[in-house]
Structures are given as structure tokens and as C-alpha cells.
Amino acid sequence: MASGLSMGIMFGLSSTAFCGILLVGRRAVKAEKMTAGQLTSFGTYSFMLALGTAGVVRAMGEYSKGMQCAARLYNLIDNESNGEEQKASEQKTKDTRSTVNTDLVQKLSVENVSFSYKADPSNVILQDLSFSLSRGEVVALVGKNGSGKSTAASILAGMYRPQSGEISLYKDDDAYEKPLNYITDVGREDQVNLIQVVPQVPAIFDMDVLDNVRYSRPNASEEDVSAAMKSANCDFVSKLEGGLEYQVGRNGIRLSGGQRQRIGLARAFLANPVFLVLDEPSSAMDAEGELALKDTMTACRASNRGLLIITHRTKTLELADRILVLKDGKVVEEGKLEELKKQKNGELVSLLSDLE
């Protein structure tokens, strides 16, 4: 709103000034103090000057925004917390040691997690969010835009820390032993091995297909890469010129949206995580891509990998073991598709009717 108002006011003032120039110039031309050509030239130069000034102001705003994003990115890379060097040093030391045997983890539990962004603390995105995900289980997370689905995925990826609540790791479903706290007890390297998140728009770099997939494990062999790509149904790569050496272009411009998502999925499979989170994976996929997504869900079950999939597609919901319906940052309904459809005034029924 601020950006729109500032640009609108600036263009409004420029247009008003230009009209004023024409009005005063008309009188000057009528009084033969200047010619019509001089008035036209002066008006054109004044308008161009106003546009140039607006461009400079806009560029300064973009520069400020870029610097803020860079600061956030470098804080994530350096594992700094609140800019305190001591905490950053402790976090780096903690991240260099192994704190959990990922092979023993059987269940992930999100317990009463609440989160709001620092820019607007009063706007609570997640409020007492609780759900669980076990190995070999496919859970679908649905909800209206702004309900907090992608924010929950970012928290699981370790991009943000919740203001309250815990994310616990259990060695078995009975949870007799004290669980590990995913946020405080697990180093960053183990977090990556535990949970991989494939965003709605995966980052694709101006490199070949092989290097893009290897981004999660730079030292992975071509055999491991091929196995990961097979799990992600990347059969299209064999049809590309050069195969794995095909240059995808900046932001993967030489690939379709579905192909980019499948490469992002292969990258996640290569990391061999215990739990996989897919954020709207079928949003840019064609019919072939949706079939590949179905095979991916089957592959997760077969490999005893937990899968949390954020989606609105009914076909995907039908294949899920459980469906979590998110509203105002918390789970309001849970169950299978057939069960939730029977609730005439249920949130999922309302959501599906809106989509149709």
C-alpha cells in the first residue's frame, strides 16, 4: 500500500505540474512572451525530469529492500541469532557435531506452535498448531490462502523459529523415551537430513541438470543422482539434448514449470531425508506430472519416508492417509477424505466447493 500510494502521489503531482506548465505557458504564448515550440520543449523536458526523479526514488527503495533481504540471507548462512556473536558461535559449534541418528527417528510431532513475523507481531500466522507425521505416512495439508500452510513448511525447513511450541522427534510411536527438540537439540546438518522441503517454485540455477540436482549433496555419485531422479520421475531428462549435461538456463527458463518442480523433488530425494514436505507440487504440473506425483507418494511409502504434501487437488487428497485442514493458523479438521466430505458444514467441504 505504501509503495502504491507513493508512486501514485508522485505521478499525480507530476501530472498536476505538467498541466500547470501548459496553463501558464498558454498565457505566455498568448502574450507572445514565448513560442509554442518553446512551450512544448519545456513541458517535455519537465515531464522527463519528473519521470527520472521517480525512477531514482524507486531504485533507492529497491536497493533498501535488497539490502534487507541480503542481511536476512547472510544471517541464515552464518547461523546467527539476533546478531549476537556469542550465540552465533555456539550455534556454529553445535551444528558441526551430530546430535541425532536420523535412522532411529520414527515420528515428527508439531506441538502447539505459534508464529508471527517480526514486521507485524500482532498478526499471528500460526496459532497453537499441532499435528504429527510418521514414517511411511502421507499426510495432506489443505487450507485457504493465508491460512499458514507455507509458513508451517518454512518452520519445518528451519527458516524460521516459532515464538512458542515445540517440534519433537520420537524414536517410536509410543514415545516412551524423552523426545528430541528439533529446534534446539538438533544441529543444522542433521535438520537437513531429517526434513527436506520442496517449495512451490524451486530454485533452479544456471547450470546443467546434474549440478542442479546435486545441490543438496555436491559429492553424490551419478548413480545416486540417477536413483533420485527416478524416484522423482524425471524421465524427461533423457529426451533433453545432452541429458544430465543439459544447460537449463537462468531460473530454469529452458524447462517447463513441471520439469523444474521435478528437478527440485529429485534434489530433495538425493538428500535422503526422513520426512519430505511438498508445497503445492502439482500447481505447475501437467497430467504427466500429476501421474509422477502419484508415483512419488507411492515411493515415499515404499521407502518408509514420511510425506507432508500441501495441496488443493482432490485427486491428491484421495491418496493421502490423513488430511489436515488448516484455518486461521491451526488444524480444525482431521481425517480421510471420505470422512471429511460427510460433514456438510465442514471446512474441507466449503474449501472444495470454492475451488470447484
Mean confidence (pLDDT) of the chain: 81
Q: Is residue 341 part of a domain?
A: yes
Same domain, 132 and 17: no
Domain end, chosen from 17, 44, 78, is at 78
We report the CATH number of the domain holding residue 248 as 3.40.50.300
pLDDT at residue 176, rounded to an integer: 46
Radius of gyration of the chain (CA): 27
Same domain, 68 and 212: no
Same domain, 201 and 142: yes
258-307 pLDDT, tens per residue?
A: 888 889 889 988 988 889 998 877 655 556 556 667 777 888 888 888 99
Same domain, 133 and 248: yes
Mean pLDDT of 151-164: 87
pLDDT at residue 288, rounded to an integer: 58
pLDDT band at 96 (very low <50, low <70, confident <90, very high): very low
Provide the percentage of residues in the chain whose pLDDT is more than 70: 88
Mean pLDDT of 205-219: 91
223-259 pLDDT, tens per residue?
A: 899 888 888 888 888 888 888 899 999 888 998 888 8
pLDDT at residue 56, rounded to an integer: 86
Q: Provide the domain count of the chain.
A: 2
Between 78 and 28, the higher pLDDT residue: 28
Q: Is residue 95 part of a domain?
A: no
Q: Is residue 189 part of a domain?
A: yes
- Cell numbers placing 270: 538425493
Same domain, 266 and 230: yes
HEC assignment per residue over the chain = CHHHHHHHHHHHHHHHHHHHHHHHHHHHHHCCCCCHHHHHHHHHHHHHHHHHHHHHHHHHHHHHHHHHHHHHHHHHHHCCECCEHHHHHHHHHHHCCCCCCHHHCCEEEEEEEEEECCCCCCCEEEEEEEEEEECCCEEEEEECCCCCHHHHHHHHCCCCCCCEEEEEEECCCCCCCCCEECCCCCCHHHHHHHEEEECCCCCCCCCEHHHHHHHHCCCCCHHHHHHHHHHCCCHHHHHCCCHHHCECCHHHCCCCHHHHHHHHHHHHHHCCCCEEEEECCCCCCCHHHHHHHHHHHHHHHHCCCEEEEECCCHHHHHHCCEEEEEECCEEEEEECHHHHHCCCCCHHHHHHHHHC
Same domain, 25 and 132: no
Angle, helices 257-270 vs 222-231, to 10°: value is 120
Same domain, 129 and 42: no
Q: Is residue 132 part of a domain?
A: yes
337-353 pLDDT, tens per residue?
A: 888 888 877 888 888 77
Which residues is 116 bridged to in the sheet? 124
pLDDT at residue 3, rounded to an integer: 73
Domain end, chosen from 28, 62, 78, is at 78
Same domain, 69 and 162: no
pLDDT at residue 36, rounded to an integer: 85
Taking 50 as the threshold, does the pLDDT of residue 322 lie above it?
yes
pLDDT at residue 286, rounded to an integer: 58
Taking 50 as the threshold, does the pLDDT of residue 25 lie above it?
yes
pLDDT at residue 247, rounded to an integer: 92
Q: Is residue 179 part of a domain?
A: yes
pLDDT at residue 293, rounded to an integer: 74
Mean pLDDT of 50-56: 80
pLDDT at residue 83, rounded to an integer: 46
Mean pLDDT of 64-76: 84
pLDDT at residue 81, rounded to an integer: 47
- Of 78-82, 159-163, 213-217, 240-244, minimum mean pLDDT range: 78-82
Question: In sequence order, which residues have a C-beta less than 8 Å from that of residue 107 and are 6 or more positions away?
Answer: 132, 133, 134, 135, 169, 170, 172, 173, 175
Displacement of CA 301 from its chain's centroid (Å): 24
pLDDT at residue 213, rounded to an integer: 92
Between 232 and 89, the higher pLDDT residue: 232
Cβ proximity of 238 and 229 under 8 Å: no
pLDDT at residue 354, rounded to an integer: 59
10-22 pLDDT, tens per residue?
A: 778 878 888 888 8
pLDDT at residue 98, rounded to an integer: 47
166-187 pLDDT, tens per residue?
A: 888 888 655 446 788 888 878 7
Domain that holds residue 256: 102-355
Same domain, 161 and 309: yes
State the pTM of this model. 0.69
Same domain, 50 and 142: no
* 197-228 per-residue burial string, b: 16 or more CB within 10 A, e: under 16: bbbbbbebeebbbbbbbbbbbeebeeebbbbb
Mean pLDDT of 195-202: 84
- Give the residue from 98, 101, 102, 99 showing the smallest Cα distance to 305: 102
pLDDT at residue 188, rounded to an integer: 76
Same domain, 330 and 215: yes
pLDDT at residue 187, rounded to an integer: 78
Same domain, 146 and 68: no
pLDDT at residue 284, rounded to an integer: 54
* C-alpha angle 126-275-181 in degrees, rounded to nearest 5: 60
pLDDT at residue 285, rounded to an integer: 57
Q: Is residue 84 part of a domain?
A: no
Q: Is residue 91 part of a domain?
A: no
- Cell numbers placing 266: 529429485
- Cell numbers placing 208: 546443467
Q: Is residue 322 part of a domain?
A: yes
Which residues is 306 bridged to in the sheet? 275
